[in-house]
Amino acid sequence: QVQLVESGGGLVKAGDSLRLSCEAFGRIASTYTRAWFRQAPGKEREFVAAIRWLGGSTYYDDSVKGRFTLSRDIAKSTMYLQMNRLEPEDTAVYYCAVDNGASLYATSSYEYQHWGQGTQVTVSS
Average pLDDT, the chain: 93
Question: For 65, phi and psi rounded to 5 degrees?
Answer: -60, 130
Q: Which residue has the higher pLDDT, 75 or 1?
A: 75
Share of the chain above pLDDT 90, in %: 82
pLDDT in tens, 32-86: 899 999 999 999 999 999 999 888 999 999 999 999 999 999 989 999 999 999 9
β-strands 119-124, 33-39 pairing: unpaired
- Residue 90 DSSP symbol: G
